[in-house]
Structure 1
Amino acid sequence: MSIKRYTVALLIGTLLMWIAWSGVLMFVDPFTSGMTGVVLFYATSVCALVGTFALIGLGYHAIRTRGALDEHDVVVSFRHAIWYALVVNFALYLQAHGLLPWTNILLFILLFAMIELLLLYRSQRKT
């Protein structure tokens, strides 16, 4: 699949996930739907945010490389998108349970930064 087709498919999927997230937000009552409503909220939120962050990352890499994107840029953008979406959703979860003081945010960001550095170090050792 070419990068252009990937980007178009990602854009369409992301738009559909934002529509699904909006539907969950408007039509699902978390108090009456129980765990199903909560899981739907977080699942659609993660998918929509991954797509959004991946598109932002691809745009950043396209500007940085002046349009010469390669497979490595796509993989890095998608990996970062997954991390950012997980951070945002975990922060939402912690906030919903009243467990999000600034110290937890700082520790959470440091944890993800260390994991990302380990992944970068591993990928550089392979090449």
Structure 2
Amino acid sequence: MGLKQLIIIVSITTAIFWIAWSMVLFQVDPDTAGWSGIAAFYLTLFTSLLGSFFLISFGVRKRFDKDELEYKLVGKSFRQSLFFAVALVGILMLQDLRFLTWWNFIMLVVGLGILEYFFISLNSKKI
């Protein structure tokens, strides 16, 4: 699959997931739907954010990092988009459960930062 095809597919699926998320947001009552409605909300939000962050991150990287190979840009963009989407949805889930405190927020951010550092150090050893 070429890069252009990847961007087109990710763009289309991201748009579909944003539409699905807005349908869940406006059509599903969380009190009557139970856990399946809440799971649909978080799942569609997560995939929408993941696709959006990937497209933005890849576009910025491609514009400013012209020397890097494209497949490496895709990997970095996807990984960091995944971490950012996990952080945002995780914060929303903690808030929904009334567990969001400043130390939980810091632990989540530090944990994702350590994970990113691990991947950066893993990739730098291959060179």
Instruction: Determine the structure 1 residue equivalent to 2:106.
Output: 106
- Note if 1:91 corresponds to 2:91: yes
* One-letter amino acid of the structure 2 residue matched with residue 98 of structure 1: R
Name the CA distance, whole Å, in 2 between partners of 1:7 and 1:67. Answer: 20
Superposed, 1:25-40 pairs within 5 Å as 25-40=25-40
**What whole-Å deviation, never above 9, does each CA across 1:86-121 have from its counterpart, x for those lacking one?**
111110000111111222212211110011101111
Say if 1:61 and 1:69, in contact at 8 Å, map to a contact too.
Answer: no
Distance in 1 (CA, whole Å) between partners of 2:31 and 2:126 is 49
TM-aligned CA deviation for residue 69 of structure 1: 5.4
Q: Are the structure 2 counterparts of residues 22 and 82 from structure 1 closer, same or farther at C-alpha, using a change threshold of 3 Å?
A: same
1:51 aligns with 2:39: no
Structure 1 counterpart SS, 2:98: coil
1:68 Cα shift? 6.7
Identify the range of structure 1 (4-13 vs 100-109) with the bigger mean alpha-carbon deviation: 100-109
1:67 shift after superposition: 8.8
TM-score, with length taken from structure 1: 0.93
1:26-69 CA-partner distances (Å, limit 9, x unpaired): 11111101111011011101110100010011111112124975
* Structure 2 residue 13 is matched with structure 1 residue 4: no
Q: How far is the alpha carbon of 1:84 from its aligned partner?
A: 0.7
Superposition RMSD on alpha carbons, in Å?
1.5
Distance 2:126 2:66 in 1: 26
- Number of matched pairs: 127
Q: Between the two proteins, what is the percent identity of the paired residues?
A: 31
Distance 1:8 1:68, change over 3 A: farther
Normalised by the length of structure 2, the TM-score is 0.93
